Every structure is written in structure tokens, then in C-alpha cells.
Amino acid sequence: MESLGHSPEGTISLESFQQYLTDSEIAGILSSVKVDVVILGEMLEMVYEDLERQGESMTFERMIEFMLNGRGSNTATVRDIKELLRMVQSC
């Protein structure tokens, strides 16, 4: 994060997050842990809209959690289904 000019303690804008996903080094790291970078990128706007509705922002910790939850090998949990239903209802 620091080498890309971003403080890990600050908030991360949608544009910055999108830039991170297009960085070849970051995309390579994400791919190596089985994160689907394309799907992650397609979900960003919806995630940021949801954060805005809740009065929250994207933090470094939240970004890492979001990325790792985007692994295709993850099993869906009841919490995931609940979150999906909440997002569908808000749409």
C-alpha cells in the first residue's frame, strides 16, 4: 500500500481500489490466493454504495477481508446468504 502512495491507516476510494485491481503485481498476488479479480472489480460499485448507505468507508482491513472473501473456493455461509438478501432488498 505504501509503495503505491497510500497509507494503510486511511480510507480507500473506489477509484483507488479499482487502480489496485489493475496493478499487475496486486492482481498476481490475488490470483495466487484464488481471488477472482474480474468478479471483485464488478462488485466494487455495489459494495461502495452499500458502505455509503451505512455511513461507513473502505478501510485497509475491510478491503483485505473483501478480497479474501472473494475467493472462489470459499463455502457460502448463513452470514453470506443474509448479506446477499440484505443487498438484494436494498437494490
Give the Cβ contact number of residue 48 at 10 Å. 17
pLDDT of residue 56: 93
Report d(CA 45, CA 4) in Å as an integer. Answer: 21
Q: What is the pLDDT of residues 38-59, one digit of tens each?
A: 888 888 998 898 899 889 999 9
What's the chain's length in residues?
Answer: 91
pLDDT attached to residue 78: 79
Angle among Cα 56, 62, 63 to the nearest 5 degrees reads 115
Q: What residues make up the domain containing 19? A: 2-90
Question: What are the φ/ψ torsions at residue 35 (nearest 5 degrees)?
Answer: -90, 130
pLDDT string in tens for the chain (91-residue length): 677 777 778 899 999 899 888 888 888 888 888 888 888 888 899 889 889 988 999 998 888 888 887 776 667 777 777 877 776 776 6
Tally of domains within the chain: 1
* pTM, to two decimals: 0.71
